[in-house]
């Protein structure tokens, strides 16, 4: 099974500043048959279910603000929030989803500095 490791475990960033979260998979999630990275990012705010933000490593889900972006390929990925807003306080998870089990990273808690 693929193991997903996120870094850091927690992060405090000032409002308006950039936040960067990393995710590393134990094996490549890039599949040569379609040249797609099977990597998603989710946001979970307190008391709420997770919400899909990014899929195919860099495609924003409909309605997600463009300050959120995803990058990376193969085994190393990054979620970037270009200008942190108060409503971005949450826990963020990466997930590999090519085949079962669809493993999640351990989560990164993002707070305001």
Name the site residues for another protein (rule: CB under 8 A): 1, 38, 40, 42, 44, 48-52, 55, 61, 91, 93, 95, 97-107
Closest approach, Cβ 91 to another protein, in A, equals 8
Smallest distance from another protein to CB 34, Å: 10
Beta bridge partners of 91: 44, 109
Return the number of the residue (16 or 90) whose C-beta is nearest another protein.
90
- Of 88, 93, 79, nearest to 110 by C-alpha is 88
Q: Are 42 and 52 in contact (CB under 8 A)?
A: yes
Our CB check for another protein shows the closer of 16 and 33 to be 33
Q: Which is closer to another protein, CB of 19 or CB of 41? A: 41
CB of 17 to another protein, least distance (A): 25
Contacts of 81 (CB under 8 A, 6+ apart): 13, 18, 19, 20, 67, 68, 88, 110
Nearer to another protein, 56 or 82 (CB): 56
Check residue 57 and give left, alpha or beta (phi > 0: left; psi -120 to 50: alpha): left
């Amino acid at each position: 099974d693929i193991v997903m490791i996120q870094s850091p475990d927690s992060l405090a960033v000032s409002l308006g500043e950039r936040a960067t979260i990393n995710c590393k998979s134990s094996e490549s999630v890039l599949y040569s048959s379609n040249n797609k990275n099977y990597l998603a990012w989710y946001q979970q705010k307190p008391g709420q279910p997770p919400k899909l933000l990014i899929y195919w490593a860099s495609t924003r889900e409909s309605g997600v603000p463009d300050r959120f972006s995803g990058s990376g390929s193969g085994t190393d990925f990054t979620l970037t929030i270009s200008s942190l807003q108060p409503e971005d306080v949450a826990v963020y998870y990466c997930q590999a989803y090519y085949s079962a089990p669809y493993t999640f990273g351990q989560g990164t808690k993002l707070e305001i500095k």
